[in-house]
Amino acid sequence: MPDQERVARWVGEVAVVGVGETDYPDDYRRVRKEGRRNDSYALGATALKRALADAGLGKSDVDGLIVGPTLAYERMAEILDLNPRWAGTGDAANALLQGALAIAAGLAEVVALVYGNAQNSLGTAYGGPDAMGGNLYLSYVYYAPWGLTSQGGLYALMTQRYMALTGLTSRDLGQVAVAQRQWAHLNPRAIMRTPITLDDYLASRFIAEPLHLYDYCLINDGGVALVLTTRDRAARMGRPFAVLAGVGRAESNYDATQLRPRLMDFYHPAHRLAAEQVYGAAGIGPEDVDVVQIYDSFSCHIPFALEGFGFCAPGEVGALLRSGALAPGGRLPCNTSGGHLSESYMQGWNHQVEAVRQIRGECGARQVPDVRHVQYISDVAGKVVTYIFRRG
């Protein structure tokens, strides 16, 4: 069992002092309109340059490097002209945990998290018989003989069963895409900024019923970087920063390749375990969260996570969505940059950047007033990781 008191002692000593991204609309236009190609390493390098400038630090300050799984850290370090004493690889959810642990253990003092993905330029396939090169760690590959070769198909099954059990409707689910496009409309960094209505959503074609076009994330190029350091050093730097106030992690692995965690439990057992950890470490509950950033490769992640983490009672997420809680001016602002559906699909990395910016009060027209706590949630394939960011 996790020792929540022990986690609480170290987690608050880690701060995010810098964030940076590439220009997502420009990256998108370069490929779609100009027929050019981006490079994952160049995207990551650009993002880190901006994150270091944001932090007021130089490359010589960085002694730890973690890169996203699209990159090799040896090559990334070579390109960046870095020689970190501590390095590693991880996805968005786990890279932050690795960096925080390195800082808390004294293995590094300034850790750069770098992600670059030219998935649009490269034509990366997330479905079809050759999806991801047939990598067997993705459970949907097991179902290729029956044509079920994409996460969209799996989440469609998951959503269909959830609707049957809870009464969630397509109109309810459509509130997620509509709200996130409203946030994106306020975000000059977002790719898809034109508002959509619920009627637009319902009129859009099904990709895998009951999931419509607007339930699917973008596929675009981009780079993201975050810079972590100790809370003490952050306080001496004289700039706004976010403190990591809580962390939770749990997995739904039992019968995962037979889809049990998806179709029977909607990842809720892992949601509840991670919730207990993160809220226990931070000393708050879901009612204290001012903004929530939820991984949304598909819109249905949102209702599953909101129910699983206790933002509403079981079976009542449809009412929560219908109330407009997630939209600008609502009581539970969600994915305030536009998320993966409308801002950029950076596989969870851009959600963390938005969390930090909301904490620092830098989001302009989309800024939520008086933000103290922002929660990040990722539950990809039942691997649930969550953080609470607190104003430093």
Burial of residue 1 (CB within 10 Å: 0-12, 13-18, 19+) is exposed
Nearest to 187 by CA among 27, 354, 378, 26: 354
Q: Locate 326 and state its tokens.
A: 């997630």
Q: Is 254 a catalytic residue?
A: no
Q: Is residue 210 domain-resident?
A: no
3-state helix, strand, coil in the chain (%, to 5): 45, 20, 35
Q: Is residue 154 domain-resident?
A: no
Specify the number of domains making up the chain. 1
CA distance 249 to 280: 12
Q: Is residue 355 domain-resident?
A: yes
Q: Is residue 166 domain-resident?
A: no
CB count in 10 Å sphere of residue 307:
23
Q: Locate 147 and state its tokens.
A: 């044509």
The alpha-helical segments, DSSP class H, found in 266-363 are 268-282, 301-308, 317-322, 339-342, 349-360
Q: Locate 272 and state its tokens.
A: 């509840």
Nearest to 293 by CA among 339, 249, 325: 339
Q: What is the pLDDT of residue 134?
A: 46
The SS3 of residue 190 is: coil
The alpha-helical segments, DSSP class H, found in the chain are 4-11, 24-32, 40-55, 73-80, 92-104, 119-122, 151-166, 170-185, 198-203, 231-237, 260-263, 268-282, 301-308, 317-322, 339-342, 349-360
Give residue for tokens 């706590």: 373
**For residue 212, which amino acid is it?**
H
Along the 392 residues of the chain, how does pLDDT read in single tens digits? 777 778 888 889 999 999 999 999 999 999 988 888 999 999 999 999 999 999 999 999 999 999 999 999 999 999 999 999 999 999 999 999 999 999 999 999 999 999 999 999 998 878 776 665 445 445 566 777 777 878 899 899 999 999 999 999 999 999 999 999 999 999 999 999 999 999 999 999 999 999 999 999 999 999 999 999 999 999 999 999 999 999 999 998 888 777 888 899 999 999 999 999 999 999 999 999 999 999 999 999 999 999 999 999 999 999 999 999 999 999 999 999 999 999 999 999 999 999 999 999 999 999 999 999 999 999 998 999 999 999 98
Q: What are phi and psi of 386, to 5 degrees?
A: -145, 150
- Looking up residue 247, the CATH number of its domain turns out to be 3.40.47.10
Q: Which of 28, 140, 295, 387 is catalytic?
A: 295
The SS3 of residue 390 is: strand
Q: Is residue 177 domain-resident?
A: no
Q: Locate 121 and state its tokens.
A: 């330029």
Q: Is 295 a catalytic residue?
A: yes
Q: Which domain holds residue 227?
A: 4-123+218-391
Q: Locate 167 and state its tokens.
A: 């009464």
Q: Is residue 181 domain-resident?
A: no
Q: Is residue 63 domain-resident?
A: yes
Nearest to 386 by CA among 261, 280, 227, 257: 280
What's the predicted TM-score (pTM) here?
Answer: 0.96
Q: Which of 214, 345, 376, 387 is catalytic?
A: 345
Q: Is residue 328 domain-resident?
A: yes
